[in-house]
Amino acid sequence: MIGATNCDSNVFERSDKFNVYRPDIDIKKAFSGTAKQLAFGSSIYNCVGAAFVKLEIELDSTIKDNISGKKLRDIKDFVKRTSKMKYYCNKLYFYY
């Protein structure tokens, strides 16, 4: 059942709570079919956006590394949508 993804109490401690820092997720296996969690699916059901998200994370890390010690202001211009994704960021401002 897809709705129960990552909610198996036999696999995850406190499976009812969202936690990206779960100790039972091996970071070296992230974004691969060998990861225990199924945020991006697996096998033929792998999310087509997984590579994009991985690139976003790498880009975000690079930006943060390059502007370390400088403050980022809050994300502005959130726009409400009528789709499943309730909000999305229309613009992202970086001030440093």
* Mean pLDDT, rounded, of the chain: 62
Is the pLDDT at 46 greater than 60? The verdict is yes
Give the pLDDT of residue 52.
Answer: 79
Where does the pLDDT of residue 16 fall: very low under 50, low under 70, confident under 90, or very high at 90 and above? confident
Is the pLDDT at 77 greater than 50? The verdict is no
Report CA-CA distances (Å) from 64 to 55, 59, 93, 96. 14, 9, 14, 11
Residue spans of alpha helices (H) in 1-96: 50-66
Q: Which residue has the tokens 């969690």?
A: 37
**Angstrom distance (rounded) from CA 23 to CA 85:** 28
Q: Give the pairing of strands 78-80 and 87-89.
A: antiparallel
